[in-house]
Structures are given as structure tokens and as C-alpha cells.
Structure 1
Amino acid sequence: MDKISIRGLEVFANHGVFKEENVLGQKFIVNAELVCDTRIAGKEDNLEKSVNYAEVCNLITKVMRNNTFKLIEAAAENIAEKILLEYDLIREVTITLKKPWAPIMMSVDTVEVSITRKWHRAYIALGSNMGDSKGHLDGAVKELDADKCCRVKKVSEFIVTEPVGGVEQDDFLNGCLELETLYTPYELLDFLHKIEQAHNRERIVHWGPRTLDLDIILYDDVVMYEDDLIIPHIEMENREFVLKPLCEIAPYIKNPVNGKSIKQLLSEIQK
């Protein structure tokens, strides 16, 4: 990916913990590094195929001037999010926000914070075997796509599968979707739980029936093992009802733990 850099943008704004900072204001300096593909713009010499850095400077200035944040961390987060939501071409952004007049009663050149934020790619498994199962799955897809920090890119066909785990219950309707998101894994997990709760999901019987089940299967190339979140999903390689719809939309995406593609994993359990 290519990069467009904005350095030393000066903005007078009213951010800070102290009341005087909010009232009197002070100078801030912003650097922005925008990761995007500029090849077509460069080959065609066409601004419409690139990112207009003058517009980005105006956006940064508006965020800084139209808000009052206690922390420069909050200002940086808001700038990064606004840029990523505004410009589809930008995949990643690094914001460095400097506060040269920081009231710390010591001689320093500047105090600054630097953050990097990006669009992440996640794969979500969907399942339901209570009530209007298709309605629950369709609703979850719409609710994910309606959230400003999520973009549903692909959705598999829904398939009917037999339940696993030994609990007597109705067959499931299962599917998978590909998602771009600004959420961290835990933020995404929390959002999925909220959608489940909106569909009256109850966690009473382990492996039991449910109105809606949403699981993070993959998230970029992240490998994490926590008590409440394991990525890649710990059971994905044993679940044909996950691998089959996932293979439909992403056959060659790989499990970062063993390097095997979804297509390969599916063929192994179907032998």
C-alpha cells in the first residue's frame, strides 16, 4: 500500500483537562499518515482516484475546532475514525497529535500522542434454530451492516444443519459473512452480543437451542487465547456447518495457526 502524509497542520482549539484550556484554547499540531492505493491516480493523473489531502486537512480542522476533548487521545481517536469513515480509499491511518503548550510547569518541546487505526477483516458465523431462523440471520446481517464501524462485504447462502453437542433440538440454519470493521476483537464481540440480545438470545443450556448465535471465526491474522475470546475460533476446524458456508465466500483464506486454507480444512473433515 502507498502512503500520503500530512505534516505539521496547525490548529488552534480548546482541548484539555483544565478549564482555562477549554476557554482560552491553544495551538495543536497534527500529523496524518494515510495508507491507500494511489497507483490508479498516479497512472491516470486523476485526483478523483486519490485522496484530496486539502479536504483531509479541513476535516481534521473541523474535528479539532468543533469539539472540546479533555484528552488529546480522544481528539486523535475522533480524527482517525472520521477519516476512515469518510474516505473509502483509506485503509489505515496514523494520527500524531502534538500539544506544544501543555501546562505541565516544566520545560518540554511538546507532548504528543500517536495512534494507528485501520479497517480489519473478520469472518462471522451465524446460526439459529428457534423461531424465524432466517429472519434472525437476515436481521443480524442488516444490523451489522447498518453500524457505522462495520461493512458487510459478503454473505454466504444459509444451509440447514443438524445440531451438535448431544442436546435434542431442531435443526439449525447456518451461514457466514465477511466483515470489515473498525472494532477491536473485544469491541466486535460486545457488539455481536448486543445483536444476539436484541434477538432474545438466552444462554441457558450449553450447546442448546438459540434464536441467534454469532461467533468470530477469524479476525485478520490475529491469534489470541483468552478465557472469553479465542481467535481463530477453537472449534472451527471441526464444524462443517461453519467451514461449508465460509468456504463459499472465502475458500482460500487461511487459518493463521496452521496455515491451512478453509477449502483444505473442509476437505479434511469431509473425507
Structure 2
Amino acid sequence: MDKIYIENLEFIGNHGVFPEEKFLHQKFIISVTMETCTRKAGVGDDLTHSTHYGFVSEDIERVFFSKSFDLIEALAENIAKEILIKYPLIKNVKVMVKKPWAPIKKHFDFVAVEITRSRNIAYLSIGTNIGNLKSNLEEAITNISSLENTQIKKISNFLETEPFGDVKQDNFLNACLEIETLFTPQELLKELLNIEIKMGRIREIKWGPRIIDLDILLFNNFIVQEENLVIPHPWMCERSFVLDPLNEIAPNIVHPLENKYISILKRDLDKSI
């Protein structure tokens, strides 16, 4: 990735936890590093293919003066969010907020917070086998598209499949989505669980009937192993109802553990059935 730098913007403001910081002016120094691709801009000498650092600087200033933040962590978070939302060519942004006049009774140069935030690509599996199956999937897609700072980029065709496991139940209707989001994996999981609850999902029988099932299959090339979340989805390589629609929209994505394209994983599974 190429990088665009804005170094050491200086502002005087009233950010801090202590009451006196709300009225005593302090200096803040803000730097951002934005990862993007400048190739088209460089070859064509055309600003429309790059990001205007003057406009970004103005947006940083606007966020800075939008409110009095208690924490410079919150100020940095809001600056990163503003840049990622407003400038689609920026894939990742690093924000550093320095506070050289922080109320510390020691000699120091500055205190600072540095964060890195990204546009994330995730692949979701959605399925249902209760009620009006097509309407259920369409409602889930609408709910996902309504999530904050989240866009659906691709939707596979809907695929009718037989149920997985030993529970006798109706066939499922399944699909896969590609989304772009500013959420972390845990934040995205929380939002998807809320959608399931909103749509009436009740967890009674493992692999049993469900009005909606929303799973995170892949998230960038992350490997996540936490108590409530495993990415890549641990059983995705064994399930045709996942790999078939996923291959439709993302055949050339590489599984970060198997180190194989989705199209190859689908071919391997088809041969084993």
C-alpha cells in the first residue's frame, strides 16, 4: 500500500477528563498516515484518483472542535472513523494524537495515543428453514445493509439445501454475502446476533430449525480463536451449502488456514462427496 502523511497538525482545545481541562486551553498535535493506492493518480496526474490532504486536514479540525472529548482515545477514534467513512480510497488509517501539555507533575515531552483502523471485508453465511424462506433471507439482508458503516458488496444466489446433522427438519435456503464494514470481528458478531434476536431466532436444538442463521465465515485474512468466535468458520470447508454460494461471489479468496482458494476447497469437497 502507498501512504499519504499529514504530520503534526496543531490545535488548541479543551479535551481532558479533569474539570480544569474543560476551560484551560491545551495544545494537541495530530498526525495521520493513510494507506491507499496512488498508482492511477501518479500515472495520470489526476487528483480524482487520490485523497486531498487539505480536505482531510479540514475534517480533522472539524472533528477536533466538534465537542470536548474526555479522552484522546475517543478523539483519535472519531478522526479515524471520519476519514474511513468520507474517503473511500483510504483502506487503512493510523492516527496519533499527542498531548504535550497533559496535567502530569513530571518532566515529559508529550503523552500520546496511536490507533490503526481499517476497512474490513467479511464474508457471511445466511440461512433459514422456518416460514417464508425467501422473505427471511431478504429481511436479513436488509437488516445487515442497515448496520452502521457497513455495505453489502456482493450477494450470492439463494440455494436450497438439505439440512446438516441428524435433526429431521425442512430444507434450508442459504446464501453468502460479501460486506465491507468498520466493525471489528467481535462488534460484527454482536450486531449479527442482535439481528437474529430481532428476527425471532430461538436457540433450542443444535443444528435444528431456525428462522435465521448468520455466521461470519471470513474476516479479512484474520485468524480469530476466542471463546465465542472462531474465524475462519471451523466447519465451512465441510459444508457445500457454505462453499457453493461463497464460491459464487469469492472463488479467488484464500482461506487463511487451509491456504487454498475457495474454488479449490469447493472442488476438493465435491470430490469427497
* Same fold by TM-score greater than 0.5: yes
Is the aligned partner of 1:136 residue 2:136? yes
Paired residue for 2:174? Answer: 174
Q: Deviation digits for residues 192-242 of structure 1, max 9, x if unmatched? A: 101111111111111111111000111111112222111111110110000
Matches within 5 A, 1:222-233: 222-233=222-233
Tell me what 2:11 maps to.
11
Conserved in 2, the CA contact under 8 Å of 1:154 and 1:249?
yes
**Alpha-carbon separation, structure 2, partners of 1:236 and 1:28:** 48
Q: Unmatched 5+ residue regions in structure 1?
A: none
Matched, 1:204 2:204: yes
Cross-structure match for 2:21? 21
Per-residue CA distance 1:237-266 (angstroms, 9 max, x = gap): 110000000000011211111212211111
Aligned counterpart, 1:56: 56
Instruction: Report if the CA contact (8 A) 1:12-1:65 is conserved.
Output: no
Distance 2:13 2:143 in 1: 36
The SS at the match of 1:269 is helix
- TM-score, normalisation: structure 2: 0.96
SS in 1 for 2:140: helix
- Runs of 4+ with deviation above 4 angstroms: none
| Residue segments in structure 2 that go unaligned for 5+ positions in a row | none
For 2:84, the equivalent position in structure 1 comes to 84
1:109 aligned onto 2:97: no
Structure 1 distance, partners of 2:136, 2:26, is: 51
Between 1:184-193 and 1:43-52, the stretch displaced more is 43-52
- Could you say what secondary structure the match of 1:82 adopts? helix
1: CA distance, partners of 2:103 / 2:269: 63
**In the alignment, residue 128 of structure 2 is paired with which amino acid?**
S
Per the normalisation by structure 1, the TM-score is: 0.97
Q: CA deviation at 1:127?
A: 0.3
Across the two proteins, how many residue pairs are aligned to each other? Answer: 271
Q: What is the 5 A alignment of 1:252-267?
A: 252-267=252-267
Which residue of structure 2 lines up, in the alignment, with residue 190 of structure 1? 190
In 2, Cα distance between the equivalents of 1:25 and 1:148? 34
Distance in 1, Cα, partners of 2:155 & 2:79: 31
1:24 alignment partner, SS class: coil
Structure 2: distance between partners of 1:227 and 1:16 = 35
**TM-aligned CA deviation for residue 69 of structure 1:** 1.1
What do the CA deviations read for 1:49-71 (whole angstroms, capped 9, x no partner)?
21111111111111111111111
What value does the CA root-mean-square deviation take over the aligned residues?
1.1
Q: Could you tell me which amino acid in structure 1 is paired with residue 221 of structure 2?
A: D
Is the contact between residue 236 and residue 243 of structure 1 (CA under 8 Å) also seen in structure 2?
A: yes
Deviations 1:27-76 (A, max 9, x none): 10000101111111122222222111111111111111111111101110
SS in structure 2 of the partner of residue 196 of structure 1: helix
Post-superposition CA distance 1:99-152 (Å, at most 9, x none): 010001111110001000001111100001111222221122222222232121
**Aligned partner of residue 270 in structure 1, secondary structure:** helix
Distance 1:90 1:107 in 2: 37
Q: Please say if residues 85 and 148 of structure 1, whose CA atoms lie closer than 8 Å, have aligned partners that are also in contact.
A: no
After TM superposition, list the pairs within 5 Å mapping 1:38-77 onto structure 2.
38-77=38-77
Identity of aligned residues (%): 47
